[in-house]
Structure 1
């Protein structure tokens, strides 16, 4: 709190946002002390996780930055990430399921970009990985490196509406979409696109 700019530079968020995140996610990450050792504080685990996500620092570097053993870090970072997803998923990535919801998205595309009848922008992003053993051709993409694909649908304000993460690097966006939950929901009517305004 004494140097908020340094706090922001370090964790890429102001102290107020960190505290709000801690209040919501902290209880999901809390462990109880045992006779053998004291549990790490939720705030420390959250700070290590956010710094890892913001900087990309590897566990051995984090171990010296935060004075926490790398094997411990490797255990709690996935847990904290999952806790963040579980806490925020319904309010951060709400995919419309009604015609009126999709019309709102389409109207925003029309207003902001003069693009009519757009219910979202869909694209994939290759995320570089180390090649898992015995899977060379599955994860090697057309750019020549190993990756998993993040396929996302966003609205006119770049807000995520739907995500598919983990497609093989060798797969195209259309292959991932064709095997996705999104396509299945569109076909079975779970997600109701509005009828065309020009429909007779």
Structure 2
């Protein structure tokens, strides 16, 4: 195939896939190639199968037929490669520090002149079959079954934090409260949000000393507050755009139609997140085609938003 045809089919550039195959082939996740009998599935074929599976909505039977392996073998390969990608996730999905932190805040600043933004947070639903256990808690507001993927992304649409696997019935803020990110933001605040750094989120979240959200509009906002919300929304759009591109590239994430094991589904989703970041690292970008809310009453939590609001007004941005 030409490079263009390869990416059209695999959704990744050949160079990205070659890099991934080389790394995987030396890992402990590769099936033992020794012994007699039927030859083992090679690392290259394993990587191609995994990418094809998450990039399309084929069944395991169709995947096995396409690559000339048994349905059970196709299932084993997807599990194995997913676990491998999750195991190297910390190399590619990580909170920015040092020069990387400065770069991402500068890129966010260039969008709408908001200083100190590290990333934007949001959630998206991953469709699943209704699980056997506790089926009702995975039934979401759209009347389908799902798990939630919570993500914080930087200005380049790269994941810097992910939480996956919470039931689809949970509100975005409850997912955040139950996540490692929420605990780390409190426990490691000076390390993660030193100085005036913060992340931004939509109105589903409360404003805290590290998460700035828009003003809730009950019809009484001032012109400056409405302008603040517009600038905030324009900056936050990076995470919504990322989800669209992410699911456009890895179409399996629209819905899992066969699996019922939630841990395996979660691993596959997180493996796609890792693959997304690997692709950005290799300049392999996506094509454009492709409950009540708990409120914080602490005034100190609102100071972060008020300080930002005053800064934007003083600089005639709102």
* TM-score, scaled relative to structure 1: 0.87
Q: CA 1:5–1:97 in 2, change beyond 3 Å: closer, same or farther?
A: closer
Contact 2:64 2:73 in 1 (8 A): no
Query: Any idea what the Cα deviations from partners look like across 1:43-82, whole Å, max 9, x if unmatched?
Result: 1111111100111211011121111101111112111122
Q: Once superposed, what is the RMSD of the aligned Cα atoms?
A: 2.2
Whole-Å Cα distance in 2 between the matches of residues 5 and 104 of structure 1?
Answer: 31
RCO higher in 1 or 2 (8 Å CA, sep ≥ 6)?
A: 2
Whole-Å Cα distance in 1 between the matches of residues 95 and 114 of structure 2?
Answer: 20
Q: Which residue of 2 aligns with 1:66?
A: 67
Q: CA 1:91–1:68 in 2, change beyond 3 Å: closer, same or farther?
A: same
* TM-score, scaled relative to structure 2: 0.56
Q: Which residue of 2 aligns with 1:16?
A: 15
Equivalences, count:
195
Structure 2: unaligned runs, 5 residues or longer: 198-306, 308-318
Offset at residue 109 of structure 1 (A): 1.3
Whole-Å Cα distance in 2 between the matches of residues 16 and 166 of structure 1?
Answer: 31
1:53 matches 2:57: no
Contact 1:102 1:193 in 2 (8 A): no
Query: Any idea what the Cα deviations from partners look like across 1:122-165, whole Å, max 9, x if unmatched?
Result: 00000000010142321011111100000000111211100000
Alignment of 1:24-173 (within 5 A): 24-28=23-27, 29-87=30-88, 89-96=89-96, 102=101, 104-173=103-172
Offset at residue 111 of structure 1 (A): 1.6
